[in-house]
Structure 1
Amino acid sequence: MEKVINLKGLKKKFGKFQALNDVTFSVNAGEVIGFIGPNGAGKSTTIRTLLGIIRRDDGHAEIFGKDVWKDSIEIHKRISYVPGDVSLWGSLTGGEIIDLFIKLHGGGDKQKRDYLIKRFELDPKKKAKGYSKGNRQKVGLIAALSVDSDLYIFDEPTSGLDPLMEAVFQEEVEKIKEAGKAILLSSHILSEVERLADKVVIIRQGEIVETGTLDELRHLTRTTVTLATEGNVAEISEVNGVYDFEQSDNQATFSADNQYLNDILLAATNLGVKKFEAVPPTLEDLFMRHYEG
């Protein structure tokens, strides 16, 4: 697969503060990378470095095989970017701003622009100074999605949108992914990342703490099991890998290490299984594991 973003050993300091330390990951064509972490973890600093807005102190940073600092003008011709708080010219209408953004990019698809204006339920004739935060985000998203880019960088793109508009955004991202485009998605809405991302990169205090597909990362967090048996379900609490055991009558809920699920199931079978539900850990579970750690 074509490597669109390639970061290796990226470092950045602001005074004595180490904002980024050995940040390494890549994004391939046709791939959505979910880039998550708590506030102040280094997500926006990484994205600003990729956009050539700030200069790295050390490391390797390329987009389309070009240096993000030296070749930023060439790179920008092929990318779309939406920040978490879109600033607009208050005296212009939403439609005028969308057309201006499209023109600055070098041209876009007017039919797609009109389609997206309808999908996002934006009034393009209204002056931007009268827009809510959600409507400002819609202007940025419509402009970004109306042009044919090879890389889309979204930094908290649905901030201020209601759940219906979040769903519209997710559907449009799936379409550009199917078209073979690369997408870097930084979002606080973990369900959004879980739905869209092929891989997840978790950053904490300027360092990458986990990288991989959700299936690859789920072994790091326990599965939640609900079990009802004919025999005494309390015996399951003694099986290796069982934690946080809670019992009500002959039904129990507990956490289980994935490598012990087979042992737990065998023990449950001996007791006569009436109900067995195993829920894999969510991205939120994984995120909170690092956030609280």
Structure 2
Amino acid sequence: MNFYIVIPAHNEADSIGLTLESLAKQTLLPKRVVVVNDHSTDETQSIVESFISKYHWISQVNVVSSDKHLPGSKIINAFYKGYDTLDDDYDVICKFDADLIFPNTYLETISQHFSSSPTLGMAAGFCYIEKNNDWILEDLTNKDHIRGALKAYRKQCFLDIGKLKPAMGWDTIDELLAKFYHWNILTDDNLHVKHLKPTGASYNKSSKYMQGEAMYKMRYGFTITAISAFKLAMKKKNLSLFNDYMSGYFKAKNNNVQPLVSPEQGNFIRKLRWKGMLKKFGI
């Protein structure tokens, strides 16, 4: 099974070498890895070049963009700069972050999951962060959700969902659309990936309003948005974020921002969200 991997990287000199080293040690090597050096001002480029000299399947694309570290469009636009350099000879396309250390059997295990289930569209392990000299689960979302840091898509699923949306919330929209097109999603508890930088640690402050905007673009509606915003603020142990998320939602609504999904897909998403929430209450 051919794995193609695209890694957007903005000032990742402290970690990109560790990520590439872990990929070079895989029991199933990727066929192509493209690092997109997105406007880095540190040693990211030279570190990647040192790996290119040793591994023919690693390449690099240097792009110039904003130096603000924002989730969503910046990351996905960088992803496409790398994706556009690849051919179509892949079975699985991955979008990985530049601050991950993968266990040696990661790609082989993901490949086995895809091979054993033709309806499996997306698969991944879990991110772990270091705390008090121990590696613990980065518990920001439900365990059936694949984190944006380590996405792997079967080729047909990737094409069916219209690839990745260049907006905040892309890593939720992809799963919702995968389910809309009847693909299954799998998370493997046994695959522990070290995440060297906690999610959002370096995001620009304005990104906090983008979460609510993303919920509007996914056609959640007010009630589901309010519930989701509250749960996320609780997860992050900062209730003031609830106001930020809702402000972002109403700003997008008042400005008639274009949703990222069709009305039909939005209806499916709302039903899916309600089903998931009611299930937690045993209803």
State the TM-score, normalizing by the size of structure 2. 0.26
Greater percentage in strand: 1
The higher radius of gyration belongs to: 1
Name the structure, 1 or 2, with higher relative contact order (CA <8 Å, separation 6+).
Answer: 1
